[in-house]
Amino acid sequence: MNIMHPAAGFAEISLGDTGLSVPLASGTKYFNYFWLRDNCPSSFSSVTCERSFDIFHLDQPPKAASAQLEDGHLVINWAGEEHTTRMPLAWLETYAEGKRRPDPADLPRKAWYGDHYPDVARFSFSELSSNKEALRRWLEAVIVEGVSIVDDMPDTDQALTDLVQLMGQVRPTFFGLYFDVRTHINPTNTAYTASALELHTDTPAEEHAPGVQFLHMRANSVEGGRNLFGDGVAAANDFRTLDPEGFRVLAETDVPFYCEHDGYDMRSYQRIIELDKHGEVEGLTISQHMLDLIDLPQELLDMWYPAFCKFGKLLQDDKYIMRFTLHAGECIVFDNHRIVHGRAAYSATSGDRYLRGTYADRAEMRSTYRALVSEGRFKA
pLDDT digits (tens, 9 = 90+) for 112-137: 999 999 999 999 999 999 999 999 99
C-alpha span between 69 and 252 (Å, rounded): 49
Q: Which residues, at least 6 apart from 149, have a Cβ–Cβ distance to it below 8 Å?
A: 120, 121, 122, 123, 326, 330, 331, 332, 333
CATH 3.60.130.10 placement within the chain: 117-371
For residue 36, which of 4, 77, 1, 3 has the smallest C-alpha distance?
A: 77
**Fold for domain 117-371?**
Double-stranded beta-helix (3.60.130)
- pLDDT bucket at 4, cuts 50 / 70 / 90: very low
Q: Which residues pair with 68 in a beta bridge?
A: 75
Q: Residue 113 and residue 311: Cα distance in Å, rounded? A: 16
Beta bridge partners of 281: 275
What does pTM read for this prediction?
Answer: 0.87
Give me the CATH code for the 2-95 domain, please: 3.30.2020.30
Mean pLDDT over 15-28 rounds to 96
Tell me: pLDDT of 1 over 60. no
Q: What is the pLDDT of residues 190-222, one digit of tens each?
A: 555 556 679 999 999 999 999 999 999 999 988
Query: What mean pLDDT comes out for the span 228-250?
Result: 98
What pLDDT, on the 0 to 100 scale, is given for residue 3? 46
Residue limits of CATH 3.30.2020.30 in the chain = 2-95
User: Residue 205's beta-bridge partner residues?
Assistant: none
Look up residue 31 and give its amino acid: F
